[in-house]
């Protein structure tokens, strides 16, 4: 039975990883209370004691706006932590899978970003996530970077849960309509990471590097919100959907700049590992679980 070390175990993806691996692998699932990934000695101690075959780093400082004022914390969690995990993995010849983000790109245009396209992060979060990618790969050639976007699920804080909460508090909502991306179900991200890890453990070929994984079809936040409310109304989670108004990004200023275009090209992950895009519309069918 393969051994998996999962960091960020209480987060959206980390929770799903732990649930999906139960009974199928020897798991050590840790959150910041059990392991501070910014403490190099602590990381090496845990890794060398447990000796995992695979490390999946689902820990990150993902508060995009707060990151602008919490620069040192962002650098510690998004750069140093992944670096230490990757260095420790390398010492015991383990594979590391690290979750990254669409924020490494500038987020302009209408095309899909490929894995080797020019990066140009527009804020602290994107910059530190990009530096984390580089640190992981430099420390351990046996590494996978999985860039994803717009992650949602039944656990943790995310857009779907926020919309369902606000729908019960307000009659109308203003939602940004000029940012486009692929909502990605957290459980699908976990399944994808496990599938990649298992394929690497079995065939030993590696296929290491950067991969993109998101949901399809692409929508705006406004369109995503409308879909959430339609499903919630259909399943009697909401008596009546709020009026949803589409607004421009410029109408909703935030400390961190958001990508207007979060479309990621998913060709490589399909060709290499046979993995299909996340089906966010199917994931919303379970909307009662998000409302609890």
pLDDT of 113 = 98
Query: Which residue range forms the structural domain that includes residue 35?
Result: 3-152+185-214+263-277
> Of 52 and 240, which is predicted with more confidence?
52
**What average pLDDT score do residues 227-231 get?**
97
CB-based burial label for 107 (10 Å; 0-12, 13-18, 19+): buried
**What average pLDDT score do residues 25-43 get?**
97
Mean of per-residue pLDDT scores for the chain: 95
- Distance separating alpha carbons of residues 127 and 104, to the nearest angstrom: 6
Per-residue pLDDT band for 136 (boundaries 50, 70, 90) equals very high
pLDDT of 206 = 77
pLDDT of 62 = 80
- Whether residue 68 lies inside any domain: the answer is yes
**Inter-residue contact 211 to 143 (CB < 8 Å):** no
pLDDT of 67 = 87
Domain of 269: which CATH number?
3.40.50.720
Q: Look up 125 and say whether it is catalytic.
A: yes
DSSP 3-state of 126: helix
**What average pLDDT score do residues 63-84 get?**
92
157-209 pLDDT, tens digit each: 899 999 999 999 999 999 999 999 999 999 999 999 999 999 999 987 779 99
> Is residue 66 over pLDDT 90?
no
Catalytic residue among 125, 211, 213, 218: 125
Per-residue pLDDT band for 46 (boundaries 50, 70, 90) equals very high
- Whether residue 138 lies inside any domain: the answer is yes
Per-residue pLDDT band for 291 (boundaries 50, 70, 90) equals confident
- Whether residue 227 lies inside any domain: the answer is no
Domains of the chain: total: 1
Among candidates 100, 113, 190, 186, which has minimal Cα distance to 143? 100
> Is residue 105 over pLDDT 90?
yes
Integer CA distances (angstroms), 279 to 185, 189, 238, 261, 267, in order: 7, 11, 23, 19, 16
- Whether residue 242 lies inside any domain: the answer is no
């Amino acid at each position: 039975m393969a051994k998996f070390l999962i960091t960020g175990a209480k987060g959206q993806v980390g929770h799903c990883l732990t649930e999906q691996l139960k009974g199928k692998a020897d798991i050590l699932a840790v959150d910041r209370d059990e392991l501070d990934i910014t403490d190099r000695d602590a990381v090496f101690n845990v890794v060398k004691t447990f000796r995992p075959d695979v490390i999946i780093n689902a820990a990150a400082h993902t508060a995009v706006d707060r990151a602008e004022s919490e620069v040192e914390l962002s650098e510690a969690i998004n750069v140093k932590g992944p670096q230490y995990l990757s260095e420790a993995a390398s010492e015991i010849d383990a594979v590391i899978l690290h979750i990254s983000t669409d924020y490494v790109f500038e987020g302009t245009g209408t095309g899909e970003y490929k894995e080797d396209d020019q990066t140009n992060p527009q804020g602290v979060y994107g910059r530190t996530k990009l530096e984390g990618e580089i640190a992981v790969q430099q420390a351990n050639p046996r590494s996978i970077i999985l860039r994803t976007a717009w992650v949602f699920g039944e656990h943790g804080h995310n857009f779907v849960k926020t919309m369902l909460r606000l729908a019960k508090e307000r009659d109308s909502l203003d939602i940004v309509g000029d940012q486009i991306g692929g909502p990605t179900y957290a459980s699908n991200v976990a399944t994808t990471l496990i599938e990649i890890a298992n394929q690497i453990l079995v065939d030993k070929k590696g296929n290491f590097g950067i991969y993109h994984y998101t949901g399809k079809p692409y929508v705006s936040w406004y369109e995503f919100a409308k879909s959430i409310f339609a499903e919630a109304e259909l399943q009697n989670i909401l008596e009546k959907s709020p009026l949803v108004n589409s607004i421009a990004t410029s109408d909703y200023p935030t400390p961190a700049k958001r990508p207007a275009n979060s479309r990621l090209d998913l060709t490589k992950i399909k060709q290499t590992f046979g993995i299909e895009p996340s089906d966010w519309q199917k994931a919303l069918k379970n909307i009662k679980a998000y409302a609890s």
